[in-house]
Chain A
Amino acid sequence: EVQLLDSGGGLVQPGGSLRLSCAASGFTFRSYAMSWVRQVPGKGLEWVSTIRADGGLTYYADSVKGRFTISRDNSQSTMYLQMNSLRVEDTAVYYCAKEPIYCTTTTCYLDNWGQGTLVTVSS
């Protein structure tokens, strides 16, 4: 059974940093691209970042580019999101999610999701 366990959320002041983790099990982690998606409480879903299976390529939403860094440790089956220069508008529940094995540039989806971890940016 695929399991994704998000952790690392919490309360941080504007300008601060936080590192989220996503521990994966139940599948061959090193073979799958992974993503982060966030959701402001009561609002919709917003894609944040994606990392290819081998970690060689990363993608970011414009809203976080230059502040967030996605990475992975395939030996530990864990993905990370380093969040720096946090802003009040980054407050959200952050979900890690897994892509299926076959994706194209115009056809893909997220087939398994973690339970989410809440990040609150406030003074």
Chain B
Amino acid sequence: EIVLTQSPATLSLSPGERATLSCRASQSVSTSVAWYQQSPGRAPRLLIYDTSNRATGIPARFSGSGSGTDFTLTISSLEPEDFVVYYCQQRNNWPRLYTFGQGTKLEIK
């Protein structure tokens, strides 16, 4: 069973700063990861797919990288609306089709 561990659980930064969010898989089964952004009371929104591709309409300040078991979401210069929760996700076969990380909350310092 694959487990995705996101770190840190909470990241405190200021607007304009660079954010680096980590997602580590317990096994190297899937070749890629997706990232989602979730604002309070809203549905998740796809940010990054296939590790490094930005979804439609996502600003260029968001980028993804990584391989094997270690993946990273980087926000180059934080905007006020970026201080929400981020989840990574992988596709598997068993025992569940989709595995999500537990989330990283980005908060204003």
Least distance between B9 CB and chain A CB atoms (Å): 11
Beyond A37-B98, A61-B96, whether A109 also contacts B46 by CB under 8 A is yes
| Bound-state Cα–Cα, A12 to B32, Å | 39
- Are B43 and A115 neighbours in the complex by a CB distance under 8 Å? yes
Chain A residues, CB < 8 A from B93: 105-106
CB of B102, distance to nearest CB on chain A (Å) = 5
- Enumerate chain A residues within 8 angstroms of B90, measured Cβ to Cβ: 106
Enumerate chain B residues within 8 angstroms of A11, measured Cβ to Cβ.
Answer: none
Judged by a CB distance under 8 angstroms, whether B87 is at the interface is yes
A113 touches B96 (CB 8 A): no
* Interface size range on B against A: 20 to 34
A27 interfacial contact with B, CB 8 Å: no
A108 partner residues in chain B, CB cutoff 8 A:
91, 97-98
**Interface status of B71 (Cβ within 8 A of chain A):** no
A44 with B102: in contact, given A109-B49, A116-B43 (CB under 8 Å)?
Answer: yes
Query: B46 — nearest CB in chain A belongs to which residue?
Result: A111
B32 touches A113 (CB 8 A): no
Cβ contacts under 8 Å, B12 to chain A: none
Residue in B36, B44, B55 whose Cβ sees the most chain A Cβ within 10 Å? B44
CB pair A106–B30 under 8 Å, yes or no, is yes
Within 8 Å of chain B (Cβ to Cβ): is A88? no
Write out the residue numbers on chain B whose beta carbons fall within 8 Å of the beta carbon of A112: 46
Residues 95-109 of chain B, each 1 if its beta carbon lies under 8 Å from chain A, else 0:
111111111000000
Give me the interface of A with B, judged by CB distance under 8 Å.
35, 37, 44-47, 50, 59, 61-62, 95, 100, 103-116
